[in-house]
Amino acid sequence: MLVDVDEGVQLDVEVLGDEDAPAMLLLGGAGWSRDWWDDDLCARLVARGRRVIRHDPRDTGASTCWPVGAPDYTGQELVTDALAVLDAVGVARAHVVGLSAGGGTAQELALAHRERITALTLIATTAIDPVGDLPGPTPAIRAVFADEGPGPDWSDPEAAVTALVEAERPFAGPDAFDEKRIRAIAERVVARSRDLAASTTNPFLVTDGGGPTGVRELAGLPVLVVHGTADPVFPVEHGRALAAAIPGARLLELEGMGHQVPPEPTWDRFVDAALGK
């Protein structure tokens, strides 16, 4: 369903599970539509008694898009968008699960609106405030970020799917790239997206917006940090430092996982940990 979150701005929202079940709001990485939260993983969470809420952030999926290269919003509006999504589906408090950039949004959301948060799960992300001298991305990922070559023809569905699949490959762990699963997701992303060029450009140009920082202030909130030992963007030291910076936080390291949604072989451990088991 399309939800009005601001003047002229609509987000496409999907809700799975029993209306009375505890809510989980999923916030993905920059440029990710809700499709990147694997259907089978969401179904597993629903089967474990959760109401799963996922949406297309601005410039992704079926949500409102801006001209390529000119996103007229800040990171703070992504935070208020998350609140607007919860309001639209009648959820007062939710367990927020954030991955990569979505993990940063989740931290800001919890710091600014703690009363709306029952728990946090932070995946493949880093603290929004500095927590020491941490390693940067691997040379291979730095090369990916530096590549300014011509992009694909986003109007060609087959080329677009292939481009999305290949864009995800370098971020996965060396033995954690499920090409069949990723291709199925990419096909759905291409079919659903209003403007793939905007999705793959604008979210990376958005400024922070000056929200609250200081992750120690999350003390007392149930927090799980999930990090892969093979994350090429935020090496595992980032996850360890984030968990150490939040008093009482738990850390789940997943062997061989990269900068990605936890891969299918890890789902039992991931879901158990996220649900506090």
Positions annotated as catalytic residues are: 100, 231, 259
How far apart, in whole angstroms, are the C-alpha atoms of residue 225 and residue 28?
15
How far apart, in whole angstroms, are the C-alpha atoms of residue 221 and residue 219?
6
Q: Residues with Cβ < 8 Å from 230, sequence gap 6 or more? A: 173, 174, 176, 236, 256, 257, 258
Q: Is 220 left (phi over 0), alpha (psi -120 to 50) or beta?
A: left
Q: Which amino acid appears at position 219 of this protein? A: A
Burial of 70 (0-12, 13-18, 19+ CB in 10 A): exposed
Q: How far is CA 169 from the centre of its chain?
A: 17
Contact 250, 274 (CB under 8 A): no
Nearest to 126 by CA among 27, 234, 49, 222: 234
Strand, coil or helix: 174: coil
